[in-house]
Amino acid sequence: MTATSSGHRGLVMEEPLLFEQDADGRTGVDLPDAEGRKPRLGGLERKARIGLPGLSEPQIVRHFTRLSQKNYAIDSGFYPLGSCTMKHNPRLNEKMVRLPGFSMAHPLQPQQTVQGCLELISTLAHWITTLTGMPGVAMSPAAGAHGELAGLMTIRAALTARGDARKTVLVPESAHGTNPATAALCDYKVESIPANERGRIDVDALKAAMSEDVAALMLTNPNTCGLFENEILEVADVLHDAGAFFYGDGANFNAIVGRVRPGDLGIDAMHLNLHKTFSTPHGGGGPGSGPVVLSEPLIPYAPLPYVVADGDGFRMVEHDDSGDSFGRLRSFHGQMGMFVRALAYMMSHGADGLRMVAEDAILNANYVMARLKDSYNVPFPGPCMHECLFDDHSLKDTGVTTLDIAKGMIDEGFHPMTMYFPLVVHGAMLIEPTETESKASVDQFCDTMLHLMERAQSGDADWFHEAPHLAPWRRLDETAAARRPVLTWKPEEEKGEAA
């Protein structure tokens, strides 16, 4: 790209790191000295500088504004990430969560002053149990993986109560990475169950792996290949006949919401990612919410606290007199902002609208598969559910890889799809259009994907190897960036090096 004297390129500004802009005495806030006041920190007050940069207010505002302009967001364009459900967040949700009674509530307020919040939590819990066909729900988990932890801890508490110290959790090889991680965190041995040639769990392999030591199976349905596990009832029978529990990863619930109730499939515990199915903000480390629904045998062992109706009002149950609950999972009770947004989404759609969410998500994914299947190889025949999966078979002998296609997508103005996952498919490209994308935006995406494949097969590998050409930053050496990260930037460094 053409060099400039300033380092800027058009309206894409270049600037040093905040710590490199530090100037002693510069500040965006001018506070008077606290003279005549006795410290109240018991001798722990700060006695030396803590190394934060001295910056003016314009510097800070410009820095973070520039960062936001370099960030791709759902408000900017289409996210085709598979197994992530990056859908539009309705502005109605944001209007509701900013109502003073919700936005100004504090977790340490007396319960009688937050009755509206408790009623909302109870109402959301009712919607969740109704949609899942499960009799109980723990609302406190802070994210999907936290919900997994709650579910497995509940299962472990139930097994302990019956004197059954099982040590193994079975996980399909196409599972989300949090599944085996959660099982290991709960001190379980993890055993992988392979997929069959249809991309579903191999039931014969499951039967062979069953023993009196198996505590649970963690299964995603629809699975990470975008396929419905149509032998799930048999899977549930195999587990229950052996005295094990059935954990359902509910990350893909948006594909079946309003159409299938997991409770009718034999699921004992399942977390829900409110951002994936019910449109709350996604990712970034939180704040999130991952309620976990529970079958009747597991309800006594659920985490505290929980909300119950009490006369004309609501209250939090903070203690378990029976001693069955495994205890608190976290402080307070969930993330109120996410609860408000999720319930606003549910109530604005209604039961029929939520069913249409699943139908439109499935329709969009199958439309993408139909448009791309002649150019991109489909490892498992459709129809798919909410996401469609391709492999790199069509790129053979082109010198172009899945990663190259993803970098080419950036030049074309699209966020890349999920790459190399699930691991059961070589060079995987997992695409989820969600229900919120129009046919026009999906067609534009498909046209771009077809163009990239045509370009790859025409022998233009060198262009792909240098992509992205038009992004603010060129392709990083990802191996070098991981092994020897360079955490400061110098103007003389090449843009293609780790930085």
Q: What is the pLDDT of residues 97-150, one digit of tens each?
A: 999 999 999 988 999 999 999 999 999 999 999 999 999 999 999 989 999 999
pLDDT of residue 2: 59
Mean pLDDT (the chain) is 91
Distance CA 488, CA 17 (A): 7
Q: Which residues of 394-408 are buried (b: 16+ CB within 10 A; e: fewer)?
A: bbeebebbbbbbbbb
pLDDT at position 194 over 50: yes
Taking a C-beta distance cutoff of 8 angstroms, is the pair 332, 406 a contact?
A: no
Query: What per-residue confidence (pLDDT) applies to 493?
Result: 47
Q: What is the pLDDT of residue 240?
A: 98
The bridge status of strand 292-294 relative to strand 214-220 is unpaired
Query: Does residue 9 have a pLDDT over 80?
Result: no
Residues 12 and 472: their CA atoms lie apart, in Å, by 7
The answer, yes or no, to whether residue 490 has pLDDT greater than 80, is no
Per-residue confidence (pLDDT) for residue 489, from 0 to 100:
54
Quickly state the pLDDT bin for 351 (edges 50, 70, 90): very high
Given this chain, do its domains 92-347 and 355-483 carry the same CATH topology?
Answer: no
Most confident of 74-78, 215-219, 472-476: 215-219
Predicted confidence (pLDDT) per residue in 409-426, tens digit:
999 999 999 999 998 999
Output the pLDDT for position 349. 96
499: confidence class by pLDDT, cuts 50, 70, 90: very low
Q: Which of 441, 442, 466, 443 is nearest to 455 (CA)?
A: 466
Confidence of residue 495 (pLDDT cuts 50, 70, 90): very low
In 3D space, the residue among 448, 360, 467, 327 whose CA is nearest the CA of residue 77 turns out to be 448
Is residue 232 within 8 A of residue 261, CB to CB? The reply is no
244/239 Cα distance (integer angstroms): 5
- Rounded Cα distance between 128 and 41, Å, is 45
What residues have CB less than 8 Å from 355, skipping those under 6 apart?
257, 258, 259
pLDDT, average across residues 364-373: 98
Q: Residue 496: its pLDDT value, please? A: 46
Domain coordinates of the chain in residue numbers?
92-347, 355-483
What are the pLDDT digits (tens) for 306-333? 999 988 899 988 888 888 999 999 888 7
Question: 111 with 234: CB under 8 angstroms?
Answer: no
Q: Is the pLDDT of residue 3 over 50?
A: yes
Compute the 3-state secondary structure of the chain and give helix, strand, coil in percent, each to the nearest 5: 40, 10, 50
Higher pLDDT, 139 or 67: 139
Proportion of the chain above pLDDT 90, given as a percent: 72
For the segment(s) 92-347, the CATH number from 3.30.559.10, 3.40.640.10, 3.50.50.60, 3.40.50.10800 is 3.40.640.10
Q: How confident is the model at residue 197 (pLDDT cuts 50, 70, 90)?
A: very high
- The average pLDDT across 289-296 equals 96
Give per-residue pLDDT as tens, 263-278: 999 999 999 999 999 9
What pLDDT was estimated at residue 220? 95
Task: State mean pLDDT over 26-30.
Answer: 85
Backbone angles phi, psi at 248, to 5 degrees: -105, 125
Q: Side chain identity at 193, as an amino acid letter?
A: I
Share of the chain above pLDDT 70, in %: 96
Average pLDDT over residues 38-55: 80
- Residue 389: enclosing H or E segment and its boundaries? strand 388-390
Q: ∠ CA 273-406-2 to the nearest 5 degrees?
A: 125
Q: What are the residues whose beta carbons fall under 8 Å from the beta carbon of 318, sequence distance 6 or more?
A: 304, 305
Distance CA 385, CA 362 (A): 5
Q: Which of 11-20, 116-125, 335-344 has the lowest mean pLDDT?
A: 11-20
CATH assignment of 355-483?
3.90.1150.10
Residue 498 pLDDT > 70, yes or no? no
Burial label, 86 (beta-carbon count in 10 A; 0-12, 13-18, 19+): buried
**For residue 255, what is the DSSP state?**
G
C-alpha–C-alpha distance, residues 332 and 311, integer Å: 23
Rounded to an integer, what distance in angstroms lies between the CA atom of residue 277 and that of residue 85? 7
Closest residue by Cα to residue 282 from 138, 85, 64: 85
pLDDT in tens, 153-173: 999 999 999 999 999 999 999
Strands, DSSP E only, in 96-188?
Answer: 136-138, 168-172
CB of 154 within 8 A of CB of 291? no
Q: Looking at residues 222-242, what average pLDDT do you find?
A: 96
pLDDT of residue 283: 63
Give 497's pLDDT tier (boundaries 50, 70, 90).
Answer: very low
Lookup: tokens for 255: 């594909």
Confidence of residue 4 (pLDDT cuts 50, 70, 90): confident
**Of the candidates 364, 134, 376, 349, the residue with the CA atom closest to the CA atom of residue 226:** 364
